[in-house]
Copies of this chain bind each other. A is one copy, B any other.
């Protein structure tokens, strides 16, 4: 159904094999509280700047995990199978966020990752987890990222009413999607209402009604999607 072809990016150095000199390195590695020296020269083995077309699968659930990815632009959607065979959305990954840390440890992906819209990613080549092959500086930064992302991996508290769960989700997504420091600007939701519902544990219709409410109360401005899918 989906073409898994990965097209080469138009970035300056598509073959770059580490983060040194990458114009985005600062964004990837230096945006966190408690960051150390602020240096963006991170000599991590990496394949830089691949572009995934909308709908392309980065990896599938159950696949052997050979790398950790960092999102550079766009949005990755993570899905996991339920016991009954249905699928649910378990997370979204936005620029500057890591994907597949847990898979790296376990050796196998526990969820699949698909591009929601156009997505730019870097593939980090890490030595096998626990092998002791990773450099101190690498470990230091990975741990930082990892610990920080622990907070954002959970959907809004399920005890909230639907409208607040949707509102919280939008707020969180927007905060993560916006470039750090930039003023508030309209953001794009690259997933369907059904995807949001799946993530929040709500029916698609409930998400729609919640968004309608938020719009009516002037808490949100919703524009039609220009290019669905």
Contacts and interface: CB of A to CB of B under 8 A. Distances in A.
A153 B153 contact: yes
Contacts of A134: 140
A88 B160 CA distance: 11
Copies per complex? 2
A158 B104 contact: no
B102 A147 contact: yes
Nearest to A150: B102
B140 A132 contact: yes
Given A131-B36, A134-B140, A154-B154, A147 B201 contact: no
Contact of A130 (B144, B157, B201): B144
Interface string A135-160: 01101101110111111011101111
Contacts of A222: none
B136 A200 contact: no
Contacts of A160: 201
A66 interface: no
Contact of A200 (B36, B144, B158): B158
A157 B36 contact: no
A154 B153 contact: yes
B105 A147 contact: yes
A183 interface: no
A144 B129 contact: yes
Contact of A143 (B106, B142, B154, B159): B142
A132 B36 contact: yes
Contact of A146 (B140, B143, B155): B143
A88 B168 CA distance: 16
Contacts of A128: 34
A154 to B, nearest CB: 5
A101 interface: yes
B34 A159 contact: no
Given A102-B150, A158-B201, A159-B200, 19 more contacts: A33-B105, A33-B106, A36-B130, A36-B131, A88-B159, A102-B147, A102-B151, A105-B148, A110-B151, A129-B147, A132-B140, A139-B139, A142-B143, A146-B147, A146-B150, A150-B150, A159-B198, A159-B201, A159-B202
